[in-house]
Amino acid sequence: MAPQTRSSFPSVVIERETDTEESSSFSEEEEGGGGGKGAGEEDAESESENVKTYEERTKGKAPISIPLKKVCKVCKKPGHEAGFKGATYIDCPMKPCFLCKMPGHTTIMCPHRVATEHGVVPAPHRSAGNPIDFIFNRQLSPRVRPIKPAFVIPNEVKCAVTRYHSRRVTCLEFHPTNNNILLSGDKKGQLGIWDFHKVHERIIYGNVHTCILNNMKFSPTNSGSVYAASSDGTISFTDVETGISSSLVNLNPDGWQGPSSWKMLYGMDVNAEKGLVLVADNFGYLHLVDSRSNNKWEDTILVHKKGSKVVGLHCHPLQPDIMLSCGNDHFARIWDMRKLQDGCSIHDLEHKRVVNSAYFSPLSGSKILTTSQDNRLRVWDSIFGSMGPPNREIVHSHDFNRHLTPFRAEWDPKDPSESLAVIGRYISENYNGTALHPIDFMDISTGQLVAEVMDPNITTISPVNKLHPREDVLASGSSRSLVIWRPKEQSESVKEKEDQKIVLCGKLEKKRHGKKFGNESDDDSDHDGGFGPVSKKGKA
């Protein structure tokens, strides 16, 4: 599994965004404190201390009542506490499990969690589609040696830009031909173009959209230009080189007439064969736009419950007539483009909660992977067989939170077995004193957690992740930062120790204190790569 490095990467560089950007409406300064978890650290404090503070504050005034008992921040009830204790989060026992959502236990005790060392663990295999599948999986599969090649996991930070965007990152896209160009969209509607080989070469186009850039897709006919769908109700078509942008459609030609009429565009995809741009809005409708004649409307179809947001669209990789949508009505739906009519989907894939994303597998398109807000990934193995309940449900922490871009599990487009997917994790784990939110690599054919990738310098959640279509590179959007990961190069000594298992990136024993993420001055990765967990080990 030793990664064969292709292009020669420069040594690790972490670039802090200087405040030059016109985008930045914020003031200045540093990344907000490593590990600092805003809410609720003081749990550790003793009761007496609490009292004292209170007295001090009230300067001797008779307090009405002094909360001598610990009060839970979550449920407000006395007798227990919840929140961070150091880098470990203590769950409120009055709430259902934050992972699997079942009552009766906390996240720590969740059966989906405790089975392996740490992290998220799959649900047991559930309802196989048909008897043969079931038998195969149950009886034969364990004895059949896997023929699929070992996964290559980009688990080490190669470079990053912090505060690149002025708001949180909402989507990422690799350039279709230029391997080192990463596009990123943010909540403000800005479009970032970053050459991560030359870390300093980056630009933000601030005038493409006026609010959330929800999805991007490169034009199949013009690889220098990208479509973007935004909550401002427009699709933009932008030349990456020049930044010149035109508006393909505007669903709000009359401007703001109140929230009940303002259309926002979410799911988008391009159907090359048909020359169509597909885009969906927050009222349940799919819009077809002829990409050749630009602007010409083909049709508008209700694809999800009226009034509900359609957050994802995906065209089948091999069959131009097949399309997949997903949205807030708890469904993902498969459509035949030739028979697009209101409510005439081929299959409706039911979920318990909102479906953040639904994707065909990238090569054959025979599988579907969805991410739902019920903290489960769902997999349908063969969309050409009977479409019943999912073949697998994998419990995984990716809760919805108003401050976060919704999590989306993304396929590895390079995996010939179409079983590797990446998704950020919401729940943090205490990694030697630092609370980190790993990025998980799941083998969705087994439900196994293959790898959890993290770095002590990246303390924010990474809901947005994309694997490179050709290289062993992972791009992450974490708050306002972008991070590029590549496989850790293992020295021989380290290699034998860490052996077959996927190496965790965040071995913090050797954490390099003071090397704050984003300090350009001292980042200079002396010797063997510097920043990052790695190395050092062998020298002992």
Binding site for DNA (CB under 7 A): 26-27, 29, 31-33, 36-39, 41-42, 45, 74, 82, 84, 89, 91-92, 95-98, 107, 163, 260, 306-307, 309, 328, 330, 353-354, 373, 400-404, 406, 426-428, 435, 437, 459-461, 478-480
Taking the complex as a whole, the smallest distance from the CB of residue 470 to DNA amounts, in Å, to 29
Q: How far is CA 89 from CA 58, 83, 225, 450, in A?
A: 31, 5, 44, 24
- Exposure string over 361-389, b if 16+ CB within 10 A, otherwise e: bbbebbbbbbbbbbbbbbbbbebeeebee
Q: Min. distance of Cβ 523 from DNA in angstroms?
A: 18
Minimal distance in Å, beta carbon 165 to DNA?
9
* Closest CB 1 distance from DNA, rounded Å: 30
**CA of 428: how far to CAs of 7, 390, 436, 497, in Å?**
33, 28, 5, 26
Compare residues 84 and 194 and give the one whose CB is closer to DNA: 84
Q: Which amino acid is at 523?
A: D
Q: How far is CA 447 from CA 124, 133, 431, in A?
A: 8, 16, 23
The Cα 376–Cα 265 span in angstroms is 25
Q: Of 477 and 529, which CB lies nearer to DNA in the complex structure?
A: 477
Q: Which residues contact 33 (CB under 8 A, 6 or more apart)?
A: none
Task: Tell me the closest approach of the beta carbon of residue 92 to DNA, in angstroms.
Answer: 6
CA-wise closest residue to 487 among 512, 462, 468, 459: 468
Q: How far apart are CA 280 and CA 369, in angstroms?
A: 19
Q: 3-state DSSP call for residue 489?
A: coil
In the complex, minimum distance from the CB of residue 266 to DNA, in angstroms, rounded to a whole number: 9
Residue 475 is encoded by which pair of tokens? Answer: 């791009």
> Please, which residue, 353 or 414, has the CB nearer to DNA?
353
Q: What is the smallest separation between the CB atom of 38 and DNA, expressed in angstroms?
A: 3
Backbone torsion region of residue 76, taken as left when φ is above 0, otherwise alpha when ψ lies between -120 and 50, otherwise beta = left
Nearer to DNA, 327 or 365 (CB): 327
Nearer to DNA, 49 or 526 (CB): 49
Q: How far apart are CA 512 and CA 349, in angstroms?
A: 47
Q: Please, is 93 exposed, middle or buried when counting C-beta atoms within 10 Å of its C-beta (0-12, 13-18, 19+)?
A: middle
Cβ atoms of 512 and 3 closer than 8 Å = no
Q: ∠ CA 473-474-479 to the nearest 5 degrees? A: 150
Q: Are 151 and 451 in contact (CB under 8 A)?
A: yes
Q: How far is the CB of 480 from DNA (least distance, A)?
A: 5
Say if CB 516 and CB 16 are below 8 A apart: no
| Closer by beta carbon to DNA, 217 or else 309 | 309
Closest contact distance (angstroms) between CB of 369 and DNA is 19
Indicate the residue among 39 and 144 with the shorter CB distance to DNA.
39
DSSP at 17: P
The encoded tokens of residue 423 equal 């998704």
Choice between 188 and 316, CB closer to DNA: 188
**CB closer to DNA, 197 vs 330:** 330
Nearest to 165 by CA among 15, 17, 13: 17
CB of 117 to DNA, least distance (A): 16
Task: Name the token pair of 520.
Answer: 């350009």
Q: How far is CA 488 from CA 436, 453, 458, 469, in A?
A: 19, 11, 16, 19
151 or 431: CB nearest DNA: 431
Cβ proximity to DNA: between 157 and 181 the closer is: 157
What's the closest the beta carbon of residue 147 comes to DNA, in angstroms?
37
In the complex with DNA, the residue whose CB is nearer, 100 or 337, is 100
Smallest separation (angstroms) from DNA to the CB of 249: 20
